[in-house]
Amino acid sequence: MIFAMAGSAIGLGNIWRFPFIVGEHGGAAFVLIYILATLLISLPVFLAEVTVGRRARTSSYGAMSSLSPGKSIWKFAGILSVAIPLIIDSYYSVIGGWSLDFLLKSVTLQFVKSNPQEVTSIFGNFITSTWSPIILHLVFLGACAFIVANGIKAGIEKFSKYTIPVLFVLIVLLIYYSVSLPGASQGVKYLLKPDFSQVNARSFAYAVGQSFYSLSLGMGAIITYGSYVKKEENLMVASAGTAVSDLMFAMLAGLAIMPAVFAAGIEPGAGPGLIFQSVPFVFSTMSASHPAIGAAVSIIFFLTIVVAAMTSCISLLEVGVSFLKDRYGVSRIKGSIILFLICGAAGVLCSLSFGPLKGLTLWGMNIFDIFDWLSSNILLLVMALLTVVFTGFVLKKEDVWDEITNGGTKKFNAAIFNVVYFLIKWVTPVAIVIIFITNFIF
Ligand code: PHE
């Protein structure tokens, strides 16, 4: 069960989003906050989500309202859990398109042929162009929608079982290589030596948002997952195992990317393009001495990224399609087309916000940033808050006890139940509210 859950949690959130968010928030001090946020806030939220899911035995849309019928706030939570994945999918598929482009560039040996100085500018040229990113975003989203429409996601999920371990091996290989680049030690220091002057109130909201994002929390995914979990499974072990492996994967990705960022002379706060600038630099340097290895590693790397992005995009689309099917009787095919059109159009705007629509900003954020910020820093927090409040105040304590200790049979869980329950009921909601508010004030 840990493997299955970790497989769904580990993805672009760890390898693409974590490094650039760390880079935008000053490095090691942020990493420290992130680790604390994962253990003290995300872990209780995770446990609350699987508990609600296993109790309700339905997907996230109806989970809370079925356990507490008649209250419209829990219906609202259900609607949020459908809306958030769609907002995320709109820009997630743009990143999917970028990954696809970099896979094609790897296959046509562009990183091998360019020298390391030129290779970092390939991304900038690509992203500011109008058509290629849009076309690739639509191709990527279209492929995912096609898979969802045909109900063949089991196929790609089987495939993805192999890609996560492959990605893990490649990351370790990249760490080895990128740490040995000249100038890389500064990147290692950046990631491990905290400078607290870089931290402000917003860092906390970003750390919690990133942690939720990476663990697929606050978007109904884990509630739905929980509904499939067998009665005899140990929810606490599964939650802790998933959180720790996701955290480790993020740290490894950071260790692979940051040294390369410094070695290549890229600004750590360069934003969403960070891995698309730094990783090709590593492959290009590698290719100077070993072209065949450089070419092979870059193809496998971007292929695994594309597959990881596809599995996430598919599971995010799946939420909307099953909602349309259950609620309005829309067929899978029609549902997939509707979602393709909505997310496709929204994604086009996100994609254009790096080029022609660059100037269109609100509070210094372009359209892409707004989608990402709105979902990760606002809506995920609201949804997670509703879930912990529901678990702490609506579900009966005996029922939560029953789920978390499997009817008292898991002795360790029973021994620490009161602490965990206190975290879920009091610490997590209060922390989320404080973080949420200070994020706006300071
Ligand atoms: N948690 C995933 C990641 O880190 C993203 C994701 C969210 C995947 C929701 C599936 C569902 O990339």
Q: Is any atom of ligand 1 closer than 6 Å to the C-beta of 316?
A: yes
- Does residue 226 contact residue 240 with C-beta atoms inside 8 Å? no
Instruction: Specify the pTM.
Output: 0.94
pLDDT tens per residue across span 375-411? 999 999 999 999 999 999 999 999 999 999 999 999 9
What gap in Å lies between CA 207 and CA 32, rounded to an integer? Answer: 9
Distances (CA, A) of 330 to 84, 302, 333, 345: 20, 35, 8, 20
**Beta bridge partner(s), residue 224:** none
Ligand 1 pocket test: which of 81, 213, 215, 383 has the largest number of ligand atoms within 8 Å of its C-beta?
213
* Residue among 383, 420, 387, 424 nearest 55 (CA): 387
Report the atom number in ligand 1 closest to the C-alpha of 85.
Answer: 9
Ligand 1 proximity of 210 Cβ (cutoff 6 Å) = no
Gap between the Cα atoms of 191 and 250, Å rounded: 12
- Residue 14 CA: nearest ligand 1 atom is 4
DSSP 360: -
> Ligand 1 centroid to 354 CA: how many Å?
23
Distance set, CA 213 to CA 14, 21, 246, 312 (Å): 9, 12, 11, 11
Give the integer Cα–Cα distance in Å for 232 and 235.
9
Q: Do residues 280 and 122 lie in contact, with contact meaning Cβ atoms separated by under 8 Å? A: yes
Q: Confirm or reject: Cβ of 221 under 6 Å from ligand 1.
A: yes
Between the CA of 276 and the centroid of ligand 1 the distance, in Å, is 19
Residue reference for tokens 């562009």: 110
Whether 320 is in the pocket of ligand 1, judged by its Cβ within 6 Å, is: no
Residue 224 CB less than 6 A away from ligand 1: no
For tokens 């009161």, name the residue: 418
The C-alpha atoms of residue 92 and residue 333 are separated, in whole angstroms, by 21
| Residue the block writes with tokens 């370790």 | 172
Q: Tell me if 264 sits within 8 A of 278, measured CB to CB.
A: yes
In one-letter notation, the amino acid at residue 32 is L
Q: pLDDT tens digits for the chain (442 residues)?
A: 777 788 778 889 999 999 999 999 999 999 999 999 999 999 999 999 999 999 999 888 899 999 998 889 999 999 999 999 999 999 999 999 999 999 999 999 999 999 888 898 899 999 999 999 999 999 999 999 999 998 877 777 777 778 788 888 999 999 999 999 999 999 999 999 999 998 998 999 999 999 999 999 999 889 988 988 999 999 999 999 999 999 999 999 999 999 999 999 999 999 999 999 999 999 999 898 899 999 999 999 999 899 889 988 998 998 899 889 888 999 999 999 999 999 999 999 999 999 899 889 889 899 999 999 999 999 999 999 999 999 999 999 999 999 999 999 999 999 999 999 999 999 999 999 999 998 888 7
Question: Both ends of the chain: CA-CA distance in Å?
Answer: 41
**Could you tell me which of 225, 258, 224, 220 has the C-alpha nearest to residue 242?**
225
Instruction: Kindly state if the Cβ of 310 falls inside 6 Å of ligand 1.
Output: no
